[in-house]
Amino acid sequence: MRAEAAYQRAGLPCIFRLTSLAAAEGLDEILSLRGYRKLDKTSVRIMTLGSAPHLHDDTVEIAEAPSAEWLASYALWQGQDASRRAAHGAILAAIPHRAAFAAARAAAHPGAPYVALGIAVLQGDWACLMDVITAPDMRRRGLSRRLTLALIAHAQAAGAGGVYLQVVKSNQPALALYNAIGFDREIYRYSYRVRGQ
């Protein structure tokens, strides 16, 4: 395949993203036969906000840029090494739209550590929620729900009429949370195919 050769010349792994919106007939099967395994089956879901206001949670801090503490907490919980942390920081710095970086603390004082993080990126009438994560030892306490609702309220106050997010389909706790909040409409799915491993 030409794509494989081009990536090999560049010293990069060849990764295919297959979506339910533009599926090339037979490509998934061809890649499977060529030794590409499927990763990260992901659902893209939306929620329209309507006119009822979502109430902001004052215990969730929202800033226009990520603090060093925000970035360090995210890197720790994701197990990012220095290289991946730098790449993630560069991606966040390059977001071309207005963004809101949310953080919830373990207690209601400024020195308490962060226990949940997330981002809302405002894109016209829509907001994209991403990088929602809770500290591993603080999960299943409603923190992601609280943070997600605060980001939705912030997006609505900024003029968004709808919110969308992506969730890996194997992440059952996240799927249950987002369905309960109102992200129960899938608009498309995608997955990746990578060779070996």
Dist. CA 133–CA 73, nearest whole Å = 10
Provide mean pLDDT across the span 48-53.
79
Domain regions of the chain by residue span: 51-160
Ranking 15-24, 89-98, 144-153, 185-194 by mean pLDDT, the lowest is 15-24
Please enumerate in sequence order all residues whose Cβ is within 8 A of that of 81, keeping only pairs 6 or more positions apart, or say none.
Answer: none
Provide mean pLDDT across the span 82-96.
92
**What is the 3 state secondary structure string of 118-181?**
EEEEEECCEEEEEEEEECHHHCCCCHHHHHHHHHHHHHHHCCCCEEEEEEECCCHHHHHHHHHH
Q: What is the pLDDT of residue 152?
A: 95
Q: Which amino acid is at 4?
A: E
- Indicate the average pLDDT of the chain: 89
Radius of gyration of the chain measured on its C-alpha atoms: 19
Q: What is the pLDDT of residue 163?
A: 96
Looking at the predicted structure, is the pLDDT value of residue 56 above 80? no
Looking at the predicted structure, is the pLDDT value of residue 197 above 70? no
Looking at the predicted structure, is the pLDDT value of residue 2 above 90? no
CB 103 within 8 A of CB 74: no
Question: Counting beta carbons within 10 angstroms of the beta carbon of residue 170, is it exposed (0 to 12), middle (13 to 18) or buried (19 or more)?
Answer: exposed
Q: Which amino acid is at 66?
A: P
Q: What is the pLDDT of residue 73?
A: 94
CATH topology of domain 51-160: Aminopeptidase (3.40.630)
First to last CA, the chain: 20
pLDDT in tens, 143-158: 899 999 999 999 999 9
CB 134 within 8 A of CB 118: no
Looking at the predicted structure, is the pLDDT value of residue 24 above 70? yes
Rounded to two decimals, what is the model's pTM? 0.84
| 159 or 52, which is more confident | 159
pLDDT in tens, 62-86: 999 999 999 999 999 999 999 999 9
Q: What is the pLDDT of residue 108?
A: 67
